[in-house]
Amino acid sequence: MSTLLRTTEVSPADRADYWRAAASKSFVDLSFSVPEPVKFCGEIITECIGDVTVSRVTAGAHTAERTERHIARAHDDGYYKLSMPVRGYVLISQDGREAPLLPGDLAIYDTSRPYHVSFDDTCRMLVLMFPHRDLRLSQRAMGDLTARRVSGRQGIGGLIAPLLVNLVSQIEELGAFTVPRLADNLVDLLTTLYAEQLGEAARPTDAMQVLLQKIKSFIGAHLDDADLTPDVIASACHVSTGYLHKLFRASGTSVGRFIRDRRLEQCRRDLLDPGQGGTAVSAIGAHWGFLDAAHFSRTFKATYGVSPREYRLSRDSFGHVEMAATADRAAPGR
């Protein structure tokens, strides 16, 4: 659902203060300087898509500043903001650099360090804001690329600019499944754009592997949670559900299949454990998330060739060591 904030909703004398509060609520805490407070008009339309905030900002002449004091009061790890004017002129300053932006130009900046944004006159701008981790590039390296103008008319910038425009203009018409995927694709393109500028084309892949391993570790620690779902995993690991699925597809599997295989492996080990000889087969399955005994039996047999009960009985017939070796060869992913 979109959030709409307009200065016309308050009296002219209160508009500058209202704008400061509205912009800080939509983005991060900021200070503002408005040359003509009584005449000032502004509007922000914001849509939150998972971790990504997509905004349309229309405002008269003013400046916005993120200071060390604002940053010291922040309760987050910081965000990147990507801005692109579609009308008017914007100047973004950070890290000793200035990015003068005309319609279609792009620039990225970091909310964990001071920055300054200046609007000379009435301007309309699109803003994408997302956590540092989503860019999957070294924050230290990105410090060399903040407040640098990128043309939205050529190269990868030429892909990003129209995608951002179309995403914002059609966000209410697109389905709930499509929009998050497009937002993820847009951030992926930004990763590619800035990795190319850094000359670190391999870095995104490395970062993705680190993130994937972190997610797998979380899954492993919560395998016995029957409510372990992609949404729960994505939220706990600070990624969108769409991006979670993308990570697993890139590794040749799916989130559901990975969880199922890991749970089956835990069931197999428990069935081999003499200390759990008195535990019912169905109880072992239920402990690892297979609440339907019949489904557990079918799934186990499809993977290991025998039912869980037969597997446990064959342990005694063929010996623990031999059975374990056979199962290891048949285990998922082997």
If pLDDT is split at 50, 70 and 90, which confidence band does 54 have?
very high
pLDDT given at position 71:
95
Same domain for 137 and 277? no
CA dihedral (319, 322, 328, 331) positive or negative: negative
Give the pLDDT confidence score for residue 201 in this predicted structure: 45
Pairing assessment for the beta strands 97-101 and 42-49 based on DSSP bridges: unpaired
Q: Are residues 157 and 18 in the same domain?
A: yes
pLDDT in tens, 142-165: 999 999 999 999 888 998 999 899
Residue 49 pairs in a beta bridge with 52
**Claim to verify: residue 235 and residue 210 sit in the same structural domain:** yes
Q: What is the mean pLDDT of residues 286-306?
A: 92
Residue type, 38: V
For residue 117, the surrounding DSSP H or E stretch is strand 115-119
Residues 223 and 88 in one domain: no
* Same structural domain, 12 and 145: yes
Segment 83-95, tens digit of pLDDT = 999 999 999 999 9
230 and 262 co-located in one domain: no
pLDDT value of position 41: 93
Grade residue 14 by pLDDT with cuts at 50, 70 and 90: very high
Average the pLDDT over 170-184 and give the result. Answer: 74
Distances in Å between the alpha carbon of 301 and those of 65, 259, 264, 311? 62, 17, 10, 9
Residue 294 pLDDT exceeds 60: yes
**CATH value at residue 143:** 2.60.120.10
pLDDT in tens, 258-279: 999 999 998 998 898 888 888 9
pLDDT score at 275: 83
Look at residues 183, 201, 219 and tell me which one is the last residue of a structural domain: 201
Give percent of the chain with pLDDT exceeding 90.
Answer: 50
Contacts of 84 (CB under 8 A, 6+ apart): 101, 104, 105, 106, 107, 125, 126, 127, 152, 161, 164
Are 197 and 85 in a shared domain? yes
Q: Is 216 in the same domain as 302?
A: no
- The predicted pLDDT at position 105 comes to 96
69 and 180 belong to one structural domain: yes
Of 163, 179, 201, the one marking the end of a domain is 201
What average pLDDT does range 226-233 have in this prediction? 91
> Does one domain contain both 275 and 319?
yes
Where among 252, 287, 319 does a domain terminate?
252
Residues 231 and 173 in one domain: no
Residue 92 and residue 164 in one domain = yes
Residue 277: per-residue pLDDT: 85
Q: Binning pLDDT at 50, 70 and 90, where does residue 176 land?
A: low
**CA-based radius of gyration for the chain:** 26
Range of the domain at 175: 3-201
pLDDT at residue 299 in the model: 93
Structural domain total, the chain: 3
Q: Collapsing DSSP states into helix, strand and coil, what is residue 288?
A: coil
Residue 320: pLDDT band by 50, 70, 90 thresholds? very low
Looking at residue 181, its pLDDT comes to 72
- pLDDT mean across residues, the chain: 86
Q: Please state the rounded mean pLDDT for residues 40-56.
A: 90
Report the candidate in 317, 316, 320, 307 with the shortest Cα–Cα distance to residue 281.
Answer: 307
- Determine the average pLDDT of the residues in 191-218: 74
